[in-house]
């Protein structure tokens, strides 16, 4: 199985993908059976695991518990090198290309090399672009970078394209977890025009309507975390 090849073939068939983001710090493991049961019955195609502050064992334990309960690919979306679990299927190897902080452009990635070496994780180079959403988010605080303005479509599109030309295999447009406003649809559409690699969009998407709008604007894969954490009926809403 190659997580990336599956994303590519879904894109080629215009089949839209949905990842649920589980933050190991916020997740109540007592609910894991029911929760994964709901995931397995839904249109969710990927499970992303990651957060900003999680400790090393917490991610590992969550991944080990999830594995026997689902056939869906488990993809690490790490906020830090401490969140690398060898038992996941793949890792988004992120570089925060909207920011100018060397720590998140290359230093953390260098630190990750010796941790990744003994694993069989599929490493997917991902250009990560933070978009201003109306309030300061955790990613912004942790990475000490300035997001790109929500109307600055050209800069975001050029940043995404530069990522592609540098060899990134995915572009992730991020409004930030719990964002007040998701990435604007116009921006998704603008970025999409000239981008050949798959486009991920996440942050602040809380309804089926917003999900469909993001797909229609050009997102190939949408990531939703907070709506699943805060709204028990969100699985039901997705089916409507
Ligand atoms: C955050 O894009 C993801 O990194 C998901 O955001 O929690 O707002 O859905 P939400």
Under-70 pLDDT residues of the chain:
53
Ligand 1 mean position to 194 CA, how many Å? 25
Q: Whose CA is nearest to atom 1 of ligand 1?
A: 177
Instruction: Calculate the dihedral angle through the C-alpha atoms of 63, 65, 66, 71, rounding to the nearest 10 degrees.
Output: 110
Residues 191 and 85: their CA atoms lie apart, in Å, by 32
Per residue in 67-86, pLDDT tens? 999 999 999 999 999 999 99
Sign, CA torsion 164/183/147/113:
negative
Which residue, 149, 195, 193, 154, is CA-closest to 175?
149
Contact 215, 17 (CB under 8 A): no
Ligand 1 mean position to 182 CA, how many Å? 9
Q: What's the pLDDT score for residue 192?
A: 98
Phi, psi of 198, rounded to the nearest 5 degrees: -60, 145
Full set of structural domains in the chain with CATH:
3-231 (3.20.20.390)
Q: What's the pLDDT score for residue 51?
A: 86
Tracing tokens 């530069």 back to the chain, one arrives at: 162
Q: What's the pLDDT score for residue 1?
A: 77
112 C-beta closer than 6 A to ligand 1: no
Q: What's the pLDDT score for residue 21?
A: 98
Q: What's the pLDDT score for residue 232?
A: 86
220 C-beta closer than 6 A to ligand 1: no
143 C-beta closer than 6 A to ligand 1: no
Gap between the terminal Cα atoms of the chain: 31
- Ligand 1: nearest atom to the Cα of 226: 7
Q: What's the pLDDT score for residue 153?
A: 98
204 C-beta closer than 6 A to ligand 1: yes
């Amino acid at each position: 199985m190659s997580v990336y090849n599956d994303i590519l073939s879904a894109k080629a068939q215009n089949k839209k993908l949905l990842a649920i983001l589980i933050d190991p710090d916020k997740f109540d493991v007592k609910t894991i059976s029911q929760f994964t049961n709901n995931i397995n019955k839904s249109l969710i195609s990927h499970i992303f695991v990651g957060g900003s502050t999680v400790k090393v064992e917490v991610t590992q334990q969550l991944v080990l518990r999830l594995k026997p309960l689902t056939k869906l690919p488990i993809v690490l979306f790490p906020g830090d090198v401490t969140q690398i679990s060898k038992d996941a299927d793949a890792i988004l190897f992120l570089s925060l290309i909207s920011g100018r902080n060397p720590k998140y452009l290359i230093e953390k990635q260098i630190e990750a090399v010796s941790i990744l070496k003994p694993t069989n994780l599929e490493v997917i180079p991902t250009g990560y672009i933070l978009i201003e959403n109306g309030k300061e988010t955790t990613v912004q605080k942790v990475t000490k970078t300035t997001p790109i303005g929500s109307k600055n479509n050209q800069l975001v599109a050029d940043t995404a394209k530069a990522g592609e030309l540098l060899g990134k295999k995915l572009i992730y447009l991020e409004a930030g977890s719990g964002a007040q406003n998701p990435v604007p649809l116009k921006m998704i559409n603008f970025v999409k025009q000239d981008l050949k690699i798959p486009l991920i969009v996440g942050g602040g998407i809380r309804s089926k309507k917003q999900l469909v709008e993001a797909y229609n604007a050009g997102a190939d894969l949408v990531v939703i975390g907070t709506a699943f954490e805060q709204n028990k009926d969100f699985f039901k809403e997705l089916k409507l």
